[in-house]
């Protein structure tokens, strides 16, 4: 059994690797990664691997993303303390917790009810009172709490769902993996308040589970 001090050491080591090997520079993102206990978001028999730099299964054919991808997407999102954030694809709740460390308020949607229930319990136990998780089709967004300063999609989509783009606040940003079911590229959408246009930038290749829903992929 690994004791808490060993988990803390492994977490510090993970953060150093994210900075030195993966070029993560945002001090607030690194601090959040250094604070959130990733071992609490994986299955008990996998906790010894919690701070390795790879994805791990969390059940329901879903995964917890590798820390480097979580850090990269969070850095691209550029969350400020006053921001309201919408996350699509709660999964285990790990990315949700990272966002909870950075934002004023986080709404997170998970289409698999069992994962949503587990994430709600886990985040409550860890004291994330500024986070709200719901079991819902994330491709529809959450109109009643819109607009959002930032939207992060933690699943691979064929294209950015129109409801999500419509729920961006002026000056807002959406980060999403776009592409096929197996391989995608990180895409950043910025809502230009003055021009009233959305600018699209394409980044590196990533691999996410498919975004299932009305404006995503059909369930296989």
Bond prior to 74 in cis (omega within 30° of 0): no
* Closest to 106 (Cα-Cα) out of 139, 130, 77: 130
Residues forming the active site: 65
The torsion angles phi and psi of 117, rounded to 5 degrees, stand at -60, -45
Which residues 6+ apart lie within 8 Å of 125 measured at CB? 40
* Closest to 181 (Cα-Cα) out of 159, 161, 156: 156
* Closest to 98 (Cα-Cα) out of 139, 118, 68, 63: 68
């Amino acid at each position: 059994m690994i004791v808490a001090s060993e988990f803390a050491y492994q977490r510090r080591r993970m953060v150093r690797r994210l900075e030195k090997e993966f070029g993560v520079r945002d001090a607030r993102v690194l601090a959040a990664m250094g604070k959130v206990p990733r071992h609490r978001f994986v299955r008990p028999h996998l906790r010894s691997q919690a701070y390795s730099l790879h994805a791990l299964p969390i059940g329901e054919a879903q995964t917890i993303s590798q820390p480097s991808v979580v850090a990269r997407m969070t850095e691209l999102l550029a969350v400020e303390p006053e921001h309201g954030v919408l996350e699509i694809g709660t999964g285990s709740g790990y990315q949700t917790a990272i966002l909870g460390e950075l934002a004023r308020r986080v709404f997170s949607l998970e289409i698999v009810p069992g994962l949503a229930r587990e994430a709600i319990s886990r985040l409550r136990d860890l004291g994330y009172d500024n986070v709200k998780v719901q079991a819902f089709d994330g491709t529809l967004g959450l109109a009643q709490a819109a607009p959002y300063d930032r939207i992060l999609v933690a699943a691979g989509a064929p294209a950015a769902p129109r409801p999500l783009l419509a729920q961006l606040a002026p000056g807002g940003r959406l980060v999403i993996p776009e592409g096929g079911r197996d391989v995608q590229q990180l895409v950043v959408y910025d809502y230009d308040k003055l021009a009233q246009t959305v600018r699209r930038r394409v980044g590196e290749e990533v691999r996410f589970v498919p975004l299932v829903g009305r404006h995503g992929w059909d369930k296989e």
